[in-house]
Each structure stands twice: as structure tokens, then as C-alpha cells.
């Protein structure tokens, strides 16, 4: 019983939950896929809810890491960083046949009313996402690339909403169309004006 095993269970469970949903994924299924003995779940996690919080943290950290090299590269123009950020995930969704969606958005929708712990954790994750995007937007304004009359934080919250909703439409339309329209609307219109 080790921290390594604990992390392995989180990663394995996160992948199944990303594919099938939180309520639709059983603890036994996660343990079986992890190759961990039955009954050891509660040694590592207090409850399925506590496990869900760990999964949400894992996803947030994992995705933030994947795009950190883009978001923190002061050598790339702020608007291009935003384009690369959304482009990175679009490529991922394409590789998955326009399925799965954003695991943070999925958990928010599915568990926002059912678990106060998950709700609070996800609210923090959305807030961090908003602050992080707002910083790049403010940079873009300073460099004259983004309309000055937009509030950076509100604009970030709005863009995150528009992106998550586009991902949900992508998931049922099974095409890039909602994401293409999102990019066009944000970059050719909303941020420009």
C-alpha cells in the first residue's frame, strides 16, 4: 500500500470516469481496472465522494500542466497563446472522435448538486481557470491585441462558458462544428471589437 498505488487508482478511475461518467462508474470497476485487490479502496479513500475530489484535482492539474508551456510563454503573443490553448484541446477531442468532453465540465454538470465537496472543489477549479485566462487577456489588451473595453475576468468567465457549452454540443453533434464556431466567434469577433 503506497502513494504510488493511490495515484495509480486515481489515474485509472479518472480515465474511466472521463469516458463513462461519475455515477455510472463503480468502485469495483475502478479497482478491477487498477489491478488492486477488492476492499482496498477504503484504505486509500474515505468515500467515493472523496475519491471524486481527488479525480477533479488530478484532471485540473493534469490539463494545466499540459498547456503550461503555452500559457506561460511570454515569447508568444497573448492571443496566439489563447488560440493554441483551445487548439490543443480541439486536437485531443478530434483524436477521441469528438467524445468524452471536458472532465471538469462533466463533473460540474453531473455532481454540482449532488456533492457539496465536489461542487466546492470544482468552483475553485473554475475560478483558477478564470484567473489564469484573465491574465493572458489582460496581457493581450496591454499589447493592443484585444478590445480594451472588455473586463479581463468577465471575459475569461464568458470564454470558459462558451467553450464548455461548445464541447457539450460537440459531444452530441459528433463534429468539430461547435468548436469551430466558438473559435471564430471569440477570435474574429468578440475579442476584436
Note the residues at the interface with its own copies (CB under 8 A): 19-21, 23-24, 99-101, 105-106, 108-110, 112-114, 119, 122-123, 126-127, 149-150, 154-155, 157-158, 160-166, 168-169, 171-174, 177-178, 181-182, 184-185, 189-190, 193
Whichever of 36 and 146 has its CB closer to its own copies, that residue is 146
CB of 22 to its own copies, least distance (A): 9
Q: Is 91 exposed, middle or buried (0-12, 13-18, 19+ CB in 10 A)?
A: exposed
DSSP state, residue 146: S
CB of 80 to its own copies, least distance (A): 21
Read out DSSP for 13-33?
HHHHHHHH-STT--HHHHHHH
Whichever of 75 and 97 has its CB closer to its own copies, that residue is 97
HEC letters along 55-100:
HHHHHHHHHHHHHHHHHCCCCCCHHHHHHHHHHHHHHHHHHCCCCC
Whichever of 83 and 100 has its CB closer to its own copies, that residue is 100
Whichever of 68 and 124 has its CB closer to its own copies, that residue is 124
CB of 129 to its own copies, least distance (A): 10
Residue with cell 462533466: 106
Amino acid at each position: 500500500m503506497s502513494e504510488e498505488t493511490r495515484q495509480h487508482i486515481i489515474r485509472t478511475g479518472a480515465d474511466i470516469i472521463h469516458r463513462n461518467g461519475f455515477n455510472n462508474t463503480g468502485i469495483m470497476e475502478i479497482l478491477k481496472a487498477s489491478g488492486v485487490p477488492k476492499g482496498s479502496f477504503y484504505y486509500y479513500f474515505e468515500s467515493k465522494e472523496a475519491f471524486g475530489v481527488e479525480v477533479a484535482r488530478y484532471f485540473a492539474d493534469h490539463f494545466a500542466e499540459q498547456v503550461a508551456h503555452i500559457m506561460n510563454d511570454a515569447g508568444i503573443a497573448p492571443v496566439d497563446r489563447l488560440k493554441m490553448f483551445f487548439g490543443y484541446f480541439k486536437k485531443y477531442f478530434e483524436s477521441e472522435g469528438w467524445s468524452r468532453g471536458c472532465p471538469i465540465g462533466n463533473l460540474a454538470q453531473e455532481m454540482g448538486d449532488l456533492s457539496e465537496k465536489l461542487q466546492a472543489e470544482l468552483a475553485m477549479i473554475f475560478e483558477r481557470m478564470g484567473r489564469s485566462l484573465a491574465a493572458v487577456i489582460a496581457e493581450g489588451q496591454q499589447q493592443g491585441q484585444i478590445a480594451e473595453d472588455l473586463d479581463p475576468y468577465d471575459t475569461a468567465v464568458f470564454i470558459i462558458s462558451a467553450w464548455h457549452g461548445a464541447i457539450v454540443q460537440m459531444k452530441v453533434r459528433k463534429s468539430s462544428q461547435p468548436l469551430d464556431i466558438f473559435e471564430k466567434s471569440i477570435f474574429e469577433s468578440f475579442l476584436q471589437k
